[in-house]
Copies of this chain bind each other. A is one copy, B any other.
Amino acid sequence: MIARGGDTREMDWQIKTSGAGLYEFTRDVAASVAATGVLTLFVKHTSCSLLIQENADPEVQTDLTAFFDRFVPPADHPGMSYLSHTYEGPDDMPAHIKAAMLPTSLQIPVISGEFQLGNWQGIYIFEHRTVPHLRRVVGMMR
C-alpha cells in the first residue's frame, strides 16, 4: 500500500490462485481503508473476476464455481464447438466469458473508517483459469 497526500489512498495486491474458484481477501482490504470515501477495486485481467458474495458458508463458494462451470463449459465440450479463441486451452475462452459476466471492479463506501460491507459480504477473486496465476488488484480510496 502506498499512502499519498490529500484524499487519495492507493493500494495494490497480488493474489496467487491455483485453479478455478473463489479466493477471499476481505481482511487485507479492510485493513487498508480509512477516513470517508469510496473504495474502488480493479482487477487488471480479463480471465478472472472480483466478486462480493456470502462468506459465512463455504458451500456458497463451491456452488458458485459449480454453477459457472456448468453454465460455461470448457471449449472441448460438445455444445461449445462454435468457439474460435481456443489456442490457450479449453478453459481460455470460457474464462473470458465468465469474466465478462462478473465484475472487473468493485465499489464499497467507507464512512468514518468503517467499511460498509454487510455482515456476510466477503471480497473475492473469482479465478476462471485452471493453471495457477498471480492476479493483480489495484485499489483506490477517494
Judged by a CB distance under 8 angstroms, whether A111 is at the interface is yes
Cβ contacts under 8 Å, A106 to chain B = 104-105
Judged by a CB distance under 8 angstroms, whether A101 is at the interface is yes
Q: Write the A9-40 contact mask toward B (1 if CB under 8 angstroms, else 0).
A: 01000000000000000000000000011101
Judged by a CB distance under 8 angstroms, whether A133 is at the interface is no
Number of A positions contacting B (CB below 8 A): 56
Q: Write the A51-94 contact mask toward B (1 if CB under 8 angstroms, else 0).
A: 11110010110111011001010000000001111000000010
Pairwise interchain contact A111-B40, C-beta atoms closer than 8 A = no
Residue of B nearest to A107 (CB): B105
Cβ contacts under 8 Å, A101 to chain B = 101-102
Cβ contacts under 8 Å, A42 to chain B = 107-109, 116
Smallest Cβ distance from A124 to chain B, in angstroms? 10
Q: State the A residues within 8 Å of B (CB).
A: 4, 8, 10, 36-38, 40, 42, 44-47, 51-54, 57, 59-60, 62-64, 66-67, 70, 72, 82-85, 93, 96-97, 99-109, 111, 116-121, 136, 138-140, 142
